[in-house]
Structures are given as C-alpha cells and as structure tokens.
Structure 1
Amino acid sequence: MLNKSTISFLKNLAKHNNREWMQANRPAYEAARADFLQFTQQVLTGFAKHEPDLLPLQPKDCVFRQNRDVRFSADKSPYKINMGAAFSKGGKKSVLAGYYFHLEPGKSFVGGGLWMPDKALVQKVRQEIDYCWDEWQLMLKNKSFQKHYGDFSREPAMVLQREPKGYDKNNPAIAYLKMKSWVAAQPLTDAALTESDLVKNVIDAFKALQPFVHFMNRAIEG
C-alpha cells in the first residue's frame, strides 16, 4: 500500500508545479518518494518470484525521476505530477516489453507492454503476431487477461489508420498488426492505492500480462 500523504503530495504538486513550492515542501517530496521506492521494492520482491529477469533490479533502476525534460516542450512545468516505475529486464531504460505502474491521483493505472518502440522492433513484433496468431488469440482470451485488461489500448497515437506495408487488410490479425505500441492498462482508484492488498493486486495484474510480455520479448530478442 501507499501512504495517503503520498497521494496528497502529488495532488498539491499538480496545483503548485514550480520550484519555489517544491523547495518549500522538500521534506514532503522526500517522504513521498521514499514511500514510492518502498512500494516499488515490495512489487519487485514479490513479482521477481514469477519473473526472474527482474531479480537484479533495485527500485532506483525502475523509478523515473521527478524532474521533467522541458527542452523541447511548450509546457515548461518543471515537475511530473505523477510517479512511475517500469519493471523490465535491464531496468527503466530497456527497449524490451515490460510492466508499468503509474501513480497519479485520479489517473493511476497498472499495466505494461511495449510502448513506442523503434521501427525495427515494431516489425519484429508484427511478424511474430502474424506468424503466431493462434497463440496471440489464446492469450487474449485468457480469463486473467480479460479480467484485468480486456484488450490493448486503441489510442489513436498507437495505431496506424491503414494496414502496415506488407500486410493485407483482410489479415485476421490486422487490428494488432496496425498497432505501433502494444500497451494494456487497468485503472486504479485513489482508494485502491492505500489499501493493504495493493501490492498483491499489482502483481496479479502483471502476471495477467506476462504471456504477452514474453511473447514480444521473444520476438525482439530472437
């Protein structure tokens, strides 16, 4: 579980996203980050029993920094108003598919997959889906995946408008071959964030996505 004070800190940060406020509230930030790091360690410890590739990781390998890179953004707000942790082989900078926890009051979620990979990796995953469509369909129909996610995200930025080059529009897998990212997410209420079973629920959600993560990494690393 996460502390209510961590949720409150992020709510306040969203209202006062400036360096002066952050400096004045540095102790609250450090307490919130320590809480999130502790939560990340609990997830790592529990899930690594099912995903041995995560065993070498420490929370610092998973948790993203709070400062935003504003160099190429019109939004010059200095801080992210969320906290995020990526659980992937090799850590948060890995190009592999993995798992993700997003903490943001009112917009928290658990999930993962493969987000905005480069063109070469996209082609590898598409080919694997095309070649192993029966396997992909079985994973989609899995009760645990359906319970937690239902399907992958269809956000416009993640899907081509037309079929990709080399694939027929009548291909039975075309809905997934058109994807540029394969990401599934389960929303979490603010109340769920402070419940004692949060770590267990996050691990269960990760386990439901695990076959897809292995499938995509098989394509990438194969």
Structure 2
Amino acid sequence: MKKIFYYLSELQQNNDREWFHAHKPERLAALQMFEQLVHELNAELMKMDATISLHEPKNLTYRLNRDIRFAKDKTPYMPAFRANIAPNGKDFIPVGYYLFLMPGDRSFLGGGLYADGMSEVTNAIRTRITRKPEEFLSIINQPEFARTFEVLGTKLKRIPHGFEEYKDSELAEWLKHKSWHLSYNLTDEALLSSQDFVGEAVKIFQLMKPFNHFINGAL
C-alpha cells in the first residue's frame, strides 16, 4: 500500500503527460501491486458472495486517463487506482463491490448503484422497494449496517409520479431517491497502517452484501 500511495501521490503533484511517460516503470510497478491486491480481494469476495466469480485483474480495473473533453479540470490523469468487482466483471449492473484508492483521505469502498440518468433502472428499484418493503427496511435498519453506512444518492423534493400512495409511508424518503449507493471512507493513515487490508475490506463489503443483492433483485 505504501508503494501504491507513493506513486499516486507523485502523480497528484506531477499530473502531466511528460512526467507520466517518463515514470512508466514506477507506474507499472505500482499497477502490478494494485492488480495483485485486486486479485486477492476478488478471491476472498468469491467465498463471501456466490454471485462473484474470478476475473483477471485487468478486467476489473480502470485506466488512469481522464476524459477531459467537457471537464473544467484539464489534468490528464485520475491519480487513483480503481476497481469494481461485480458479477459481470467491472460492469456496474449488476452491482458489486467498488474499490477507490486515492491519497488525501479520499479512498473509499463502495456498493449499491449510481443510477442518475437511468430512469428505467431507478423505477425498477423503486418498484422493488414497494413490493418488498419489509425486506428493504430490515436491511437498512439492521443496526451494524445503519451504524456503518448512510444510503447516498440524488433525491427528489417530492414523491415521484406513480408512487403518490406512499407519500405518507415509511418508504417515502427512500422512494425520492434516484440512486441508492454506499460509501465507506478510508483514511490514508488507516490504509498505510493496515496489516490485513483485504480482510478488513471484505468485512465491510459483507455488510453491503444484502443491500447489493436487494438492488440486483430489481435489475
């Protein structure tokens, strides 16, 4: 982790193409370490979640290059290593387990789905919540889950069209969501001092598992 963070910190401070290409050996060494980490995490997640199968790490990770065509920030690279370990590899549907490593206390473990702009997906999840309210509420109100996560996502101000009958129900605030996703923040200090990052990450992802499976039931 220290070597991974050292490279990403250097990239943060030298985010230009000349430096990037001049330090290719360091990049490849850090990337190899990250892919080994992803492989180990993938193997452990398979034991915890039967929907996960083993993939080549290269098929679970993302490039450092940023799409800057419409971005205000014109730096060419994302100084972060990212991976998504899901039933279909790194595809976000069905949902899986997301790893984001970036210096500056910006690392996190993620679950659930960012569905803004996918109205059919959003509607399918809302419909599942109304059809299985007890299951949904039992997941988000489970004490350890509630202590660990906040369900994030863009929300409407009013109950969406087609779900007006639930405006006074316990489900109302959840049906206003357009997305339902989870984030568990990781500090640099915690990551750099961890003796068993994979094991610690799997414990957090295990708490996400029922939520992910509920979302996937709608998809």
TM, length-normalised to structure 2 = 0.91
Q: Distance in 1 between matches of 2:148 and 2:62?
A: 24
**Deviating runs (4+, > 4 A) in structure 1?**
none
Q: How far is the alpha carbon of 1:136 from its aligned partner?
A: 1.0
Which residues in structure 2 correspond to 1:57-96 (within 5 Å)?
57-96=55-94
Aligned to 1:180: 178
Q: How far is the alpha carbon of 1:71 from its aligned partner?
A: 2.3
Name the SS for the 2:67 alignment partner. coil
Q: Distance in 1 between matches of 2:54 and 2:35?
A: 16
Aligned to 1:200: 199
Q: How far is the alpha carbon of 1:103 from its aligned partner?
A: 0.4
- Structure 1 unaligned regions, length at least 5: none
Name the SS for the 1:112 alignment partner. strand
Q: Partner letter of residue 60 of structure 2?
A: C
Which residues in structure 2 correspond to 1:93-108 (within 5 Å)?
93-105=91-103, 106-108=105-107
User: Do 2:87 and 2:94's aligned partners in 1 also have CA atoms closer than 8 Å?
Assistant: yes
Name the SS for the 1:102 alignment partner. strand
Range moving further from structure 2, 162-171 or 77-86: 162-171
Are residues 1:152 and 2:185 paired?
no
Aligned to 1:50: 48
Q: Distance in 1 between matches of 2:195 and 2:140?
A: 29
Pairs aligned (count):
214
Q: How far is the alpha carbon of 1:133 from its aligned partner?
A: 1.4
Are residues 1:219 and 2:218 paired?
yes
User: Do 1:47 and 1:203's aligned partners in 2 also have CA atoms closer than 8 Å?
Assistant: yes
Q: Distance in 2 between matches of 1:164 and 1:97?
A: 23
Q: How far is the alpha carbon of 1:122 from its aligned partner?
A: 0.8
Q: How far is the alpha carbon of 1:170 from its aligned partner?
A: 1.7
TM, length-normalised to structure 1 = 0.90
> Cα RMSD (Å) of the superposition?
1.5
Name the SS for the 1:203 alignment partner. helix
Aligned to 1:133: 133
Aligned to 1:119: 119
Name the SS for the 1:53 alignment partner. coil
Q: Partner letter of residue 96 of structure 1?
A: P
User: Do 1:116 and 1:180's aligned partners in 2 also have CA atoms closer than 8 Å?
Assistant: yes
Q: Partner letter of residue 145 of structure 1?
A: F
Aligned to 2:11: 13
Q: How far is the alpha carbon of 1:60 from its aligned partner?
A: 1.5
- Structure 2 unaligned regions, length at least 5: none
Q: Distance in 1 between matches of 2:24 and 2:140?
A: 44
Q: How far is the alpha carbon of 1:196 from its aligned partner?
A: 1.5
Q: How far is the alpha carbon of 1:211 from its aligned partner?
A: 0.5
Q: How far is the alpha carbon of 1:61 from its aligned partner?
A: 1.9
Are residues 1:161 and 2:144 paired?
no
User: Do 2:3 and 2:30's aligned partners in 1 also have CA atoms closer than 8 Å?
Assistant: yes
Q: Distance in 2 between matches of 1:175 and 1:32?
A: 43
Identity level (%): 32
User: Do 2:92 and 2:113's aligned partners in 1 also have CA atoms closer than 8 Å?
Assistant: no
Aligned to 2:143: 143
Q: How far is the alpha carbon of 1:146 from its aligned partner?
A: 2.8
Range moving further from structure 2, 166-175 or 16-25: 166-175
Q: How far is the alpha carbon of 1:193 from its aligned partner?
A: 1.6
Q: Distance in 1 between matches of 2:92 and 2:99?
A: 16
User: Do 2:46 and 2:54's aligned partners in 1 also have CA atoms closer than 8 Å?
Assistant: no
Q: How far is the alpha carbon of 1:162 from its aligned partner?
A: 2.1
